[in-house]
Structure 1
Amino acid sequence: MVSFIGREQQLSTLQALLADIERGSGDPSPGECLLIRGRRRIGKSSLVEAFVDRAGVPAVFFTASGASTDIELEAFTEAVRASTLPEREVFDDATPGNWSAALRQLAGVLPDDQPSVVVIDEVPYLVDRVDAFEGILQRSWDRELSRKPVLLVLVGSDLSMMEALGSYGRPFHQRGKEMVLGPLNPAEVGEMLRLDPAEAFDAALVTGGLPLICAGWRPGDDLWTFLAAELANPVSPLLVSAERSLAAEFPDAAMARTVLSAIGSGERTFTNIARAAGGISHSTLTRAAQVLIDKRVVAAELPLSTTASKERRYRVTDPYLRFWLTFVAPHLAEIERLRGDLTLQRVKAGWTTWRGRAVEPLLRESLARLLPDGALPAAPAIGSYWTRSNSIEIDIVGADREPVAKHLLFIGSIRWLEAAAFDDHDLVALQRHRTAITDDPIPLVALSRSGVSAAGLSASYGPADLLQAWQHSGATRP
């Protein structure tokens, strides 16, 4: 089992909910429901399994598979029969004929005198395949399940559907608390792999903080040792995780996959993406891009400034998927021929350029978590700025709101090179960019991997400073 470094807060949250149920077992409705969502292969199921193991209470764990209603119902029945619920034998004597009966029968076998846990994993499959499943679930929860001292955990990888499940106007609205499970953050990755701060950010970019991929990185190894081993193994998690996730996420959306590949290859503007995707039409690209945005796989961003702009740019939100689309997917055939050494050389040749852009969103998020400090104020919005011609590109813009701000709070530059500090030339360029977007003498900031040699900045931060921003972050109690 992958070590749950960085997941202790989430486990504590689950344990606290179970403790609340135990303390309130005399209430008319002592049950609690928790909705957990997060991208595929992020470790949601493993987290809940670890919690169930630690809890030591009667439990049933069912995972939907996207099969037909009858097959899913049979699998659910088998899961209950194989569970640790004390009266599970009831399901041997009476097989439920539909989901309403199954949930009602489940409520009947849950203990009254001690807490229990019921986990339904990949709930979106049931919502998609079982007619009126949300309503069935809501009625069962209101009438039967919530009246037992049970923690009902609903887990799903389809982020938009899981968000909708608890939203206003839907049957299950306000019936469950929510937990969003993200990847391991850079500090957690660094701790798990015993890396220094700069290397921890590199590892976060390549692995995306996915526990399964991090588990293949031997603690203390550098990036190139890890990549050499992974690229030499055609079935390594680094190679296969993205393909499996995409196949599950977009089974019938070939055009979305094509557009995603174009964005992943480095195209950022609508026109260039359309060209890279084979010259598809405006309407086709719009539909495909919206699918990717709804799935949270792609972000569509606007320049952050005090004036409105239509210069939208697109990027892949998951850095691991971005790495895979750039360096791995186009060369899977050669990796399968056991020539991952060629792929590795290609990664080394393009690494500095790729990393320079890929690390920017992660560093902006690091800065947002770090502020306020003695040098810079907290910024409700931290983004970037660009023009259509790219004559002006500003890596960091802090403002009071986005995408059109009333007040700019600071601007900055990211220089993320191994052997080049942020110098006077970089400072002059940043000052010139400031005059292009504001007349106010707002603070200037630099994020540099290799230090700062220029004088005149309001603040500067290196890898250790930025990593510190993540060291106590995690899920809060829902």
Structure 2
Amino acid sequence: YWDNKLKTTDIKIFICGSSIRMMEKHFFNYSSPHYGRRTKQFKLQPLGFSALKDFFPSAGLEELLAIYAVFGGTPAYMLEYENDIFETIRTRMLRKEEFLHKDAEFILREELREPRYYFSIIRSIAFGNTTTGRIMNDTGITKDVVAKYLSTLQDLDIIERHVPVTENIKSRKGIYRIKDNYFRFYFRFIFPYMEYIEMGEEDFVLREIKTNFQRYSGLVFEYVVTDLIKENRNLIQMQFTRIGSWWSAGDEIDIVAINENTGEILFGEVKYTNKLVGVKTLSTLREKAKNVKWGTDNRPEHYLVISKSGFEKDIMDKDVTLIDLNTLEKITKIQNHN
């Protein structure tokens, strides 16, 4: 009917689907009757952190970060929020009749043939096992199988591979990260405690979540800050061609930005704690920066410290860019206004 009647008209047909496997089967598979008939395709990504202000205009930055850390950028998930993050977790995720209770599992079961092994791998990554070796040791799954499943999870946009910003994509230092915060939260705090939830132990699970939530949110804060810098390049004192993080032999730097044209490099530390940050943090950052092998011996270096709770006086007069929560709050308001 399309070929004989509709193709020459102004009619446009939009087909949406949340299952990558289903969409590929019906529109990208050569044996499908729809193959070759699509004119365009779009892969919709989750909303970024900056978009949350449109959904929750009265929320402060910390509240927005908590929402984003639990629900990610999927509007249907975000709209389940009920003014208090822990009460929302209790009523929308810890209760068996709610759709968020197992939606991550349902989505993966729809996409995957052997979900049990994939669940084990995603759970392992959620608990901080981010290299192939550590995932193997944690899950007991062989190297070949882990590699195959990691590749599939990347194809499905569930996880992504990162390398230090100073390395190329083929670096052996690559680590894996769960892309979507809802999946990351689910496999860190819901999936491992499913037995307790089934027994009605909501209070116990919620205590576990509260105990570990600030540490969990700290990593999300690092990613959010990096994205905000990409969107607001005047936040730091140099132009950059690449930005990310860096790690090697036990050392890690939260933010590293480089300019491959000028040879400049910036090192940044992100602190999501309730304590003021002082000069000791800057001194430690400077020491770690010496281990970053990039550029020339006399490369221009810049330093950045971002703190949730502000700064002590001893760091104020140092040669470093300081960014606190108030500055980030203003940026998100400006972006929302634009």
TM-score by length of 2: 0.84
Pairing 1:236-385 to 2, within 5 Å after superposition? 236-278=98-140, 280-305=141-166, 309-373=171-235, 375-385=236-246
Partners of 1:436 and 1:232 in 2: CA distance: 44
Contact 2:276 2:311 in 1 (8 A): yes
Q: 1:305 to 1:208 in 2, by over 3 A?
A: same
Deviates more, 1:341-350 or 1:116-125: 116-125
* Superimposed CA distance per residue, residues 267-298 of structure 1 (whole angstroms, 9 cap, x where no aligned partner): 112211101112x2222211111111222211
Q: 1:186 aligns with which of 26, 49, 52?
A: 49
Contact 1:183 1:209 in 2 (8 A): yes
Matched, 1:210 2:69: no
CA-CA distance at 1:437 after TM superposition: 2.0
Q: 1:249 to 1:136 in 2, by over 3 A?
A: closer
CA-CA distance at 1:246 after TM superposition: 1.4
* Superimposed CA distance per residue, residues 358-400 of structure 1 (whole angstroms, 9 cap, x where no aligned partner): 3322221121111134x42332321111113x1x211100023
Contact 1:443 1:458 in 2 (8 A): yes
Give SS of 2:245's match: strand
CA-CA distance at 1:211 after TM superposition: 1.4
Contact 1:300 1:314 in 2 (8 A): yes
CA-CA distance at 1:239 after TM superposition: 1.8
Contact 1:127 1:133 in 2 (8 A): no
Contact 1:306 1:407 in 2 (8 A): no
Pairing 1:436-475 to 2, within 5 Å after superposition? 436-437=291-292, 439=297, 440-453=299-312, 454-455=315-316, 456-466=318-328, 468=331, 472=335
Q: 1:231 to 1:179 in 2, by over 3 A?
A: closer
CA-CA distance at 1:335 after TM superposition: 1.9
Give SS of 1:382's match: strand
* 2:59 paired residue number: 195
Contact 1:206 1:323 in 2 (8 A): yes
CA-CA distance at 1:342 after TM superposition: 1.3
Partners of 1:426 and 1:247 in 2: CA distance: 44
* 1:128 paired residue number: 25
* Superimposed CA distance per residue, residues 411-454 of structure 1 (whole angstroms, 9 cap, x where no aligned partner): 1000012x212211111111111223264341101121112222
Q: 2:257 aligns with which of 398, 412, 423?
A: 398
Q: 1:128 to 1:289 in 2, by over 3 A?
A: same
The amino acid that maps onto 1:119 is F
CA-CA distance at 1:300 after TM superposition: 1.6
Partners of 2:153 and 2:252 in 1: CA distance: 25
The amino acid that maps onto 1:341 is D
Contact 2:306 2:324 in 1 (8 A): yes
Give SS of 1:243's match: helix
Contact 2:131 2:176 in 1 (8 A): yes
TM-score by length of 1: 0.61
Q: 1:250 to 1:124 in 2, by over 3 A?
A: closer
Pairing 1:404-423 to 2, within 5 Å after superposition? 407-417=263-273, 419-423=274-278
Q: 1:252 to 1:105 in 2, by over 3 A?
A: farther
Contact 2:109 2:115 in 1 (8 A): no
* Superimposed CA distance per residue, residues 146-194 of structure 1 (whole angstroms, 9 cap, x where no aligned partner): xxxxxxxxxxxxxxxxxxxxxxxxxx6xx42x54433233233244233
* 1:118 paired residue number: 13
* 2:287 paired residue number: 432
Q: 1:247 to 1:384 in 2, by over 3 A?
A: same
Partners of 1:297 and 1:333 in 2: CA distance: 24
The amino acid that maps onto 1:125 is M
The higher radius of gyration belongs to 1
The ranges of structure 1 where at least 4 consecutive aligned residues each deviate by more than 6 angstroms after the TM superposition are none
Q: 1:229 to 1:190 in 2, by over 3 A?
A: farther
Contact 2:127 2:188 in 1 (8 A): yes
CA-CA distance at 1:105 after TM superposition: 5.2
Structure 1: stretches of 5+ with no match in the other structure? 1-101, 142-171, 474-478
Give SS of 2:291's match: helix
Identity percentage of aligned residues: 18
Contact 1:212 1:237 in 2 (8 A): no
The amino acid that maps onto 1:442 is E
Query: Matched residue pairs, number?
Result: 323
Deviates more, 1:255-264 or 1:457-466: 457-466
The amino acid that maps onto 2:266 is F
Partners of 1:306 and 1:120 in 2: CA distance: 40
* 1:63 paired residue number: none
Matched, 1:107 2:107: no
CA-CA distance at 1:116 after TM superposition: 4.0
CA-CA distance at 1:217 after TM superposition: 1.2
Pairing 1:5-84 to 2, within 5 Å after superposition? none
